[in-house]
Amino acid sequence: MIPIACLTMLLRKEIVLPQKIQVPTHPFREGWRTVQSDDLNWIKGQLRIAGWNLNLAPEEITGSGIGQTSEAAITRALTLALRKVSEPCDGAKIARIQTVDYTWFTLARVCISPCKLQSSASTPGLRAQLALTPHKAPTLAITAV
């Protein structure tokens, strides 16, 4: 298992990526796998080359866990956060990790951002939607006093 850190990307096991995308992954837990590269921009670039998009959700999901080590606490917190990710989301990016060490255990909180992977062909006419109304500069009327 690769170390869990901020910006680590996780994908559902059942997601089928295009043949062009060579993203090495490792099994994690409960139907999830971690992406080997921690460079989110590289992953986005690989998806873009293959004609796919990575859309991050604006909200974050939080999970907390305890363990005898920080790694065990983070793993438990991440597992609980991933259980809250809704079914249409294909992946998640770790946004923040906080740990507090106590005498006999470690407490961890993990915040993740769910994401959806989509083929560009399945994104209906985004440019057309953005270009529906031409942008007009606001006018300002000044009256002399």
Q: What is the pLDDT of residue 37?
A: 65
Position 19 pLDDT exceeds 90 = no
- Better pLDDT: 10 or 109: 109
Q: What is the pLDDT of residue 46?
A: 78
Q: How confident is the model at residue 54 (pLDDT cuts 50, 70, 90)?
A: confident
Say if 138 falls within a structural domain: no
Say if 20 falls within a structural domain: yes
What CA–CA distances, in Å, run from 143 to 51, 58, 138, 139, 140? 53, 43, 16, 13, 10
* Lowest mean per-residue pLDDT among 7-11, 21-25, 40-44, 122-126: 122-126
Q: Quote the pTM value.
A: 0.73
Q: What is the pLDDT of residues 27-40, one digit of tens each?
A: 888 889 888 766 67
Structural domain count of the chain? 1
Say if 140 falls within a structural domain: no
Distance, in Å, from the CA atom of 74 to the CA atom of 99, rounded to the nearest integer, reads 8
What residues make up the domain containing 80?
9-130
* Lowest mean per-residue pLDDT among 17-31, 80-94, 117-131: 117-131
Q: What is the pLDDT of residue 97?
A: 94
Say if 137 falls within a structural domain: no
| Contact in structure between 64 and 99 (CB atoms under 8 Å) | no
